[in-house]
Amino acid sequence: MPKVTKIEVQKKNKERFNLYLDEAFEMGIDMDTLVHFNLKKGDVLTPADMAEVQKYEHFRFGLHLAIQYLSYRKRTEKEVVQHLQKHEISETAIAEVIEYCNREGYIDHDDYAESLKNTMIRTTDKGPEIYRQKLIKAGIEKDLAEHYTAKYEAEQPLEDIVTLADKLMNQKKGPLKKRSEKVKQSLLQKGYSFEVINEAMQDLDFEPDSEEVDMLLQRELEKVYRKYERKYEGKQLEMKTIEALIRKGYEYDTIKDKLTESGIGDE
């Protein structure tokens, strides 16, 4: 049976050692593995002994990868598992690493959800639904995700959403009704609920620029009219033009006035 003939510190990493059996290099091990098995020169190792050393060293390597990965930012259990799988750590070792990380507090889903909540509220314009999706994708348990999503919605200041709605409103073009619909759709896509969106829109103090609306309507009228005059004429042309402009969000009476002003509609 092979005998330990030398144990030397690695030149590039003082926390790791080279293990030699019968004068031949066998494997690298870390300090914890060395201490765990109380390895020393002269020890005789059976195949079963070596299997245990290799298994434990594999676990230690996986743990090193996990702790290094966790040192950059908070991670979920799912994220750590996926990281270890990419490095071909065995499922047995992964289970042991995850158990260790949970026991020592390296992985904490409550802390992860709380930290992500605070960061997103402080640095993004995203709503609770986007936050919830991020938690689920990261592997946070559904009940925990719902709990922290409710906290997210309760803690996100309404005035921040009103400010966002106002910013979006100023970016949109067209009549007020159409712009409001576009803003609501944008807020839905950012993860806000219908209830919160409606509340924010009610608080939105926005007066449309009448000259700008008039100019936009004139531009749309000319575009639509040119399109339909190729197919229609007379009253039918007028009605098709009105229908198209109503779909774009303009009011019927405003359209009629503009048609008359342009010399298209009846006085």
169-203: pLDDT as tens digits: 888 877 777 788 889 999 999 999 999 998 898 87
CA distance 10 to 28: 8
Poorest-pLDDT segment among 67-71, 122-126, 160-164, 172-176 = 172-176
CA distance 216 to 223: 11
Angle among Cα 211, 217, 218 to the nearest 5 degrees reads 90
CA distance 155 to 117: 9
Q: How confident is the model at residue 226 (pLDDT cuts 50, 70, 90)?
A: confident
Q: Mean per-residue pLDDT for 122-137?
A: 97
Domain 109-155 in CATH 1.10.10.10:
yes
- The matching CATH number, chosen from 3.40.190.290, 2.102.10.10, 1.10.10.10, 3.30.70.260, for 158-203 is 1.10.10.10
CA distance 82 to 244: 53
Contact status, residue 201 vs residue 184, Cβ threshold 8 Å: yes
CA distance 154 to 11: 55
Name which CATH class applies to 3-104. Answer: mainly alpha
